[in-house]
Amino acid sequence: MSQAITETLYTQWGQTFTVDRVLFEHQTAHQHLVIFENQQWGTVMVLDGVVQTTERDEFIYHEMMTHVPLLSHPKPQKVLIVGGGDGGILREVLKHPGIETVTQVEIDQAVIDMCRQHLPNHSQGAFADPRVKVVIGDGVDFVAECTEQFDVIISDSTDPIGPGESLFTSRFYQGVAKCLTEDGIFVAQNGVSFMQLDEVTTTHRRLTPHFQDVTFYSAAVPTYVGGIMTFAWAAHNPALRQAELDPQRLHTLTTRYHNAGIHRAAFALPQYILDQLEVDS
């Protein structure tokens, strides 16, 4: 392993990390997985050349992908996580009172195993919680075959290259729509909009036939380079997104990024996104 890793998400431009120590590197059955130490960002995980998570800034992404849908739902009890092998989403979901079960469908057991070992602060023991059921498989097949319904579904996938591609398809979104209760909410990582605007418009076009309320929200995640990170939002009930946040539920959460103001402001989108969604609709 060289003493530096340059992200390969974009061919003409990318961020480079110095590699202080490699903790794990392996070509799994699904993707190339490397976990290494970097003085600036702590322990970093990269899958197929794309930065997935770093110890230093993971809280921003995991809080926004979890607390925005869960606090918007009147009473979240059953949650489905697709992907999320590092355990950060699972850790945040379990902070919410009233959660009865969390099902996590992750395609690559090695990611869970290596993150539990080398990024223990991500899951913080969450995988051992008796309410958690881990299923190793492709999320698109799980939702297609699943007969259960969930209050919140969170797709914490890689980018739409390699195994993650199936989680950006109409087939996946159709399965998600079937597996959500009537007050159910779906959110998904949807890339850095300035660099991957086509991902936003494609997701919008593919979600719209299955949900009444489809939009995006955002957060600035330093190591998802190129500007704001967008999250897809889809719900059958359009009222949920405008619902007043319960101060008591907000108060029970210890956060470092999410708060009521950020929650509301996150849904304000730059004009270039709104214009493109307009053109595309």
- Catalytic residues, by residue number, are 156
184 touching ligand SAM, by CB under 6 A? no
Distance in Å, CB of 11 to ligand SAM, minimum: 18
> How many Å apart are CA 204 and CA 202, to the nearest integer?
5
Distance in Å, CB of 66 to ligand SAM, minimum: 12
69 touching ligand SAM, by CB under 6 A? no
Distance in Å, CB of 73 to ligand SAM, minimum: 21
Q: Which two tokens stand for residue 142?
A: 């799980």
List binders of ligand SAM among 226-255 (CB under 6 A). Answer: none
Q: Which two tokens stand for residue 76?
A: 């979240």
List binders of ligand SAM among 35-54 (CB under 6 A). Answer: 52-53
Can you count the helices (H) and strands (E) in the chain?
10, 13
Alpha-carbon dihedral of residues 196, 190, 52, 56, nearest 10 degrees? 100
Amino acid in the structure at residue 270:
P
H or E element that contains 63 = helix 58-72
Give the per-residue contact string, 131-160, with ligand SAM (x = CB under 6 A; - = no): -------xxx---------------xxx--
Q: Do residues 9 and 159 make contact, with C-beta atoms less than 8 angstroms apart?
A: yes
Q: Using the rule CB under 6 A, which residue among 9, 41, 48, 83 binds ligand SAM?
A: 83
Q: Using the rule CB under 6 A, which residue among 61, 173, 211, 231 binds ligand SAM?
A: 61
76 touching ligand SAM, by CB under 6 A? no
> How many Å apart are CA 265 and CA 141, to the nearest integer?
34
Amino acid in the structure at residue 242:
Q
The residues of the shown chain that bind ligand SAM, judged by CB under 6 A, are: 52-53, 61, 82-86, 105-108, 111, 138-140, 156-158, 163-164, 166-167, 189
